[in-house]
Amino acid sequence: MSQHQLSDLSDEGLRAFVGEQLERSRRRTARLADAVDTDDLIKQHSKLMSPLIWDYAHIGNQEELWLVRDVGGREPLRQDIDELYDAFMHPRADRPTLPLLGPVETRAYVEEVRDKVLDVLDHVKFDGGRELVDNGFAFGMIVQHEQQHDETMLATHQLRRGVPVLDAPPPPAGRRLAAPEVLVPGGVLEMGTSVEPWALDNERPAHAVRVAPYVIDTVPVSNGDYLQFVTGGGYQDPQWWSEAGWAQVQKASLTGPRFWEFVDGEWWQLRFGKREQLPLDEPVMHVCFYEAEAYAKWAGKRLPTEEEWEFAARFDPATGRTRRFPWGDESPGPQHANLGQRHLGPAPVGAYPAGASPLGVEQLIGDLWEWTSSDFSPYPGFRAFPYDEYSLVFFGPEYKILRGGSFATDEVVARSTFRNWDYPIRRQIFAGFRCARDPRPEELRA
């Protein structure tokens, strides 16, 4: 069963599916919190992030607001703490100074909320005519909220100093690719979705977009490729950088991707507390939008637009149809994509041939988020649902769109229509990029 077929389920089937998703996300949250000691749970590891304990209680608080109070119509459990866990009241940097619930109270609170939610789930009428509950949407939204915070918590783990506490098997091996780039013929894409029951407001509605022919990289840019830019003086030469990008290079003294180190004549990277030799065949990660943009210019290319990214991920040139995923309509399995924190990093390029699109573009879903050149803006016909603070208040040119999900993103989130966004200076997220370019005239004639 997967989320796009929810409307085919009986109420009992839907209840069971929602219950499994809630349980799965909570297991991950608890694992991320339980992996560290009390001190590391409550302290702030970076000004960019909340203390892990804030994410934990915020997950419970959002679940209480939407599922206990709104969907269930039940009495509040802890109205007094709403303000502490409202992301708009206190910036991340200030959160460690708040009178937050401690670890014992937090665990008790989220469990109490969950008990009530399971009771609400037992009694909810999915066909009661409430849009919020239709196909279990509010439950799906809260599962995705928890999974999104689990990715944020994993990013906090990456920023934490100290001995490693997380472990996972390595991702599958990479392979040599037949072609570094793919010519995409262009056409009309049905962008976004009006039919995925758990798609969030900014992915809606589906709308036709004409995309001109373009060329896109088969796989994300690798550490080996990016190293050429670094050692070739890319960070010393303003010609590759936008004005804002060059200002950021100077302001933040950027010399290479975050978590790279050059020691004793060799390149290393720091991953969840382990120092490892820089794997040249892995996609470059922890670069900001400006670094992605500069590399692309240096390589004689550019970043893809959000439309081009989604066209590469969903367009089937044989039928002209827009697919759910690059490989077809089935939900992602471990053979298709590196998702769900199964591995603790992106797989080497070429590791997922079964995840290729019909045009032969690979690793679009999973491994790492990909910066696009697009600002975060609403689709035509956008309607904020069920609250303005998920998407609406963020629309505008300050945010750049990222697509595809990372190794840290759960399957319940990683739709090919899912839109992520962040400031162009951010590097702590699990993000990299691939390049695109306009086709040369002779490529179009061929």
Judged by CB under 6 A, does residue 148 bind ligand AVJ? yes
Beta partners for residue 369, in sequence order: 431
Q: Phi, psi (5° rounding) for residue 321?
A: -90, 150
Residues within the annotated binding site for gamma-L-glutamyl-L-cysteine? 92-95, 422, 426
Nearer to ligand AVJ, 149 or 403 (CB): 149
Taking CB under 6 A as the rule, does residue 152 contact ligand AVJ? Answer: yes
Least distance from C-beta 275 to ligand AVJ, angstroms? Answer: 28
Maximal C-alpha separation, the chain: 68
If the CB atoms of residues 142 and 347 are measured against ligand AVJ, the closer one turns out to be 142
C-beta atoms surrounding 443 within 10 Å:
13
How many Cα atoms sit within 13 Å of 268 on the Cβ side?
12
> Which of residues 149 and 301 has its CB atom nearest to ligand AVJ in the complex?
149
Q: 26, 116, 145, 343: which one contacts ligand AVJ (CB under 6 A)?
A: 145
Residue nearest to ligand AVJ (CB): 148
**Taking the CA of residue 141 as centre, how many other CA atoms within 13 Å lie in the half-sphere pointing to its CB?**
23
Radius of gyration, alpha carbons of the chain: 22
Q: How far is CA 147 from CA 22, 50, 143, 174, in A?
A: 10, 16, 6, 27
Other CB atoms within a 10 A radius of the CB of residue 87 amount to: 13
Nearest to 143 by CA among 202, 59, 52, 45: 59
Among 420, 428, 434, 435, interactor with ligand AVJ by CB under 6 A = 420
Strands 274-277, 315-316: pairing kind: unpaired
Q: How far is the CB of 147 from ligand AVJ (least distance, A)?
A: 10
Q: List residues forming the annotated binding site.
A: 58, 92-95, 145, 149, 422, 426
The C-alpha angle 438, 443, 445, rounded to 5 degrees, equals 120
Determine, following the binding rule CB under 6 A, whether residue 372 of this chain makes contact with ligand AVJ: no
Nearer to ligand AVJ, 61 or 363 (CB): 61
Q: Provide, rounded to whole angstroms, the least separation between the CB of residue 311 and ligand AVJ.
A: 22
| Binding site per annotation, positions for Fe cation | 58, 145, 149
Question: Interface with ligand AVJ by CB under 6 A: which range of 116-124, 146-154, 208-216, 376-384?
Answer: 146-154
Check binding of 357 to ligand AVJ (CB under 6 A): no
Q: Does 421 bind ligand AVJ (CB under 6 A)?
A: yes
| Per-residue interface string for the shown chain with ligand AVJ, residues 390-409, x marking contact by CB under 6 A | x-------------------
CA distance 189 to 327: 16
For the bound state, the minimum distance from the C-beta of residue 399 to ligand AVJ, rounded and expressed in Å, comes to 8
Q: Are 346 and 284 in contact (CB under 8 A)?
A: no
Q: How far apart are CA 87 and CA 98, in angstroms?
A: 12
Tell me the site size for ligand AVJ, rule CB under 6 A.
7
Binding residues for ligand AVJ (CB under 6 A): 145, 148-149, 152, 390, 420-421
